[in-house]
Amino acid sequence: MSYVNPKGEFDRDTDYITTRITRDGRDGYPVEPGRYRLVVARACPWANRAIIVRRLLGLEDAFSIGFCGPTHDERSWTFDLDPGGVDPVLKIPRLQDAYFRRDPDYPKGITVPAFVDVPTGAVVTNDFAQMTLDMSTEWTEFHRDGAPQLYPEEHRDEIDEVAKRIYTEVNNGVYRCGFAGSQGAYDKAYDRLFTALDWLSERLSDRRYLGGDTITEADVRLFTTLARFDPVYHGHFKCNRSKLAEMPVLWAYARDLFQTPGFGDTTDFEQIKHHYYEVHTDINPTGVVPKGPDLSNWLTSHGREALGGRPFGDGTPPGPTREGERVPEGHGAG
Taking Cα atoms as reference points, which of 100, 101, 107, 95 lies closest to residue 69? 95
Burial state string for 29-58 with b = 16 or more CB within 10 A and e = fewer than 16: bebeeebbbbbbbbbbbbbbbbbbbbbbbb
DSSP class of 78: B
C-beta atoms surrounding 304 within 10 Å:
21
DSSP letter for each residue of 88-146: TTT--SBTHHHHHHH-TT--S---SSEEEETTTTEEEE--HHHHHHHHHHTSGGGPPTT
Residues annotated catalytic, as ranges: 44, 175
Beta bridge partners of 209: 212
* 139 assigned binding-site residue: no
Q: Write the CA distances from 194 to 93, 153, 191, 207, 239, integer angstroms.
A: 40, 30, 5, 20, 8
Taking Cα atoms as reference points, which of 38, 109, 104, 103 lies closest to residue 75? 109
Residue 258 neighbours by CB under 8 Å, 6+ apart: 223, 227, 264, 267, 298, 299, 333
CA atoms within 13 A on the CB side of 228: 32
Return d(Cα 61, Cα 71) in angstroms, integer: 28
Could you give the maximum distance between any two Cα atoms of the chain, in Å?
Answer: 55
Binding residues for glutathione: 77
Q: Which residues are annotated as a binding site?
A: 77
